[in-house]
A and B are shown apart, each in its own frame.
Chain A
Amino acid sequence: MKNWTSEGHLTELALELWAAREAEDHELQAFESHIQQCRACKAQTAEWRGLMLALASLRGTEPSESFAEHVMERVRLPVPAAARTGAWMPSLALRRIAAAAAALWSAGVIGGAVWLGSRVDFPAGALLTRLAGYASDFLLAAVIRIAALLHLSSLGAIWLELQRSVPGLALAAGLALMTIMSGAAIWTLHRVTTYQPSRANAHG
């Protein structure tokens, strides 16, 4: 324990800390019992107590009522995350699931094409040419749609808001999208594999 006394009396610092209640509990108790027994120290406490009382009476001052508005007028608010381009994209975990699903879907489509191709009497070269034609059309359409979506980033904000308010909406929308795309793929495969050259051309 620190030496809080000098010539049998509490030091000025000890009296100050006692008045401010800023010493350890056991030290405050020791100061208190000394003050109760020592007239000289008790007399010394009056000024410190008066000071602490005066300090405790001080209060904060309110600024003007328009203070907050004046501040906010000059603040550059960050662009909300929801409004930033690309922020409407699903979370990283969801993107991984989507990528895995897309890979599975692609494998299924390619595998399906190969399987169907082996079951029909159709020249492989013509089948691939036909598929490439459909694929390029489909890719072009997709690029146009994605570009439009990126430019309409406000749609992303709406989407994010819907995601927040409707649980599971992203999953449902993803499944719907996969179903539509799978349907389109199956329909494409059907069109390609059931293609028959016209008789006129065949005999021409």
Chain B
Amino acid sequence: MTGQPPAAPPGSTAGGALGALEDKELVTRALEGDESAYREILERFRRPVFSLIYRMIGDREQAEDLAQESFVKAFNNLDSYNPSYRFSSWLFKIANNHAIDHLRRARLSTVSIHGSPHAVDSEREEETRIVLEAPDESPEQEMLAVQLGGEIERAIARLRPDYRTAVILRHIENRPYEEIAEIMGVPIGTVKTFLHRARAELRDALSHLKEEG
């Protein structure tokens, strides 16, 4: 069993001089005091890091604070980054640890429906809509798709934090198993188990939609 190859790296500054550089090269430049390298790293990873934390804790304002803290901690300790690992793994690990610590402190095991990332406004609702493969879907299918979008968010929010991390990294950030294992600090086999159990829970959570449909 193998993971799919990782998707294209997160967005970087379009056409920027640093845009073509590898993450590790950016880190080297940043350590030399190049501010633009820090900004490029931010540009590449602000969305995935924020997105991970937001889905983990379900509160936009707190997620923003935690994501900023994650970057500040990473940047101020950049010299402790070990280049034999992926930079993204190191950064995601810091972000995930921040989110987990926050959940522990707040004793939150689930995210409220209102805290769901895509439920805060109509724009977010739009983002949750399922992109169906068939372009000529019926109104019933469209309704099901919208319903499914909201349901999957809520179902993910109800997962155990470690299952949630694995699902977000795998299915939203398209990270390979190896990297998820690095980020979570567990063996690859454990990641596979987390994903298998999480998917089974999610499938069960969505099964009523099919029955209703």
Instruction: Enumerate chain A interface residues (CB-CB to B < 8 A).
Output: 12-13, 16-17, 20-24, 27, 46-48, 50-51, 53-64, 67-68, 70-72, 74-81, 83
Q: A55-B171, A72-B35 are in contact. List 5 more A-B contacts (CB 8 A).
A: A23-B2, A51-B206, A57-B131, A71-B72, A78-B79
Given known pairs A57-B131, A60-B51, the reply for A48 and B39 (CB within 8 Å) is no
Closest to A64 in B: B64
- Name the residue in A60, A63, A75, A77 with the highest tally of chain B Cβ atoms < 10 Å from its Cβ: A60
Do A61 and B117 touch (CB < 8 A)?
A: yes
Do B68 and A24 touch (CB < 8 A)?
A: no
Chain B nearest Cβ from A74, distance in angstroms:
5
Do B75 and A75 touch (CB < 8 A)?
A: yes
The total of interchain contacts (Cβ-Cβ below 8 angstroms) comes to: 137
Closest to B149 in A: A57
B129 proximity list for chain A (CB < 8 A): 57
Do A77 and B38 touch (CB < 8 A)?
A: yes
Chain B nearest Cβ from A71, distance in angstroms:
4
Given known pairs A51-B199, A55-B152, the reply for A71 and B68 (CB within 8 Å) is yes
C-alpha spacing A180/B93, complex, angstroms: 59
Closest to A23 in B: B1
Closest to A63 in B: B50
Chain A nearest Cβ from B153, distance in angstroms:
7
- Name the residue in A17, A55, A74 with the highest tally of chain B Cβ atoms < 10 Å from its Cβ: A55
Do B75 and A80 touch (CB < 8 A)?
A: no
Do B1 and A54 touch (CB < 8 A)?
A: no
Q: Which of A47, A63, A70, A78 contacts B32 (CB 8 A)?
A: A78
Chain B interface, DSSP helix/strand/loop, else mixed: helix
Given known pairs A47-B207, A58-B172, A62-B47, the reply for A17 and B167 (CB within 8 Å) is no
Q: Which of B33, B51, B210 contacts A79 (CB 8 A)?
A: B33
C-alpha spacing A80/B31, complex, angstroms: 8
- Which B77-107 residues have a C-beta within 8 angstroms of A? 78-79
Do B75 and A71 touch (CB < 8 A)?
A: yes
Do B203 and A48 touch (CB < 8 A)?
A: yes
* Across the A-B interface, the 9 shortest Cβ-Cβ residue pairs: A80-B33, A60-B51, A63-B50, A55-B171, A54-B152, A57-B130, A75-B75, A71-B71, A74-B72
C-alpha spacing A20/B176, complex, angstroms: 13
B163 proximity list for chain A (CB < 8 A): none
B202 proximity list for chain A (CB < 8 A): 51, 54-55
Chain B nearest Cβ from A81, distance in angstroms:
5
Do A54 and B68 touch (CB < 8 A)?
A: no
A72 proximity list for chain B (CB < 8 A): 35, 38-39, 42
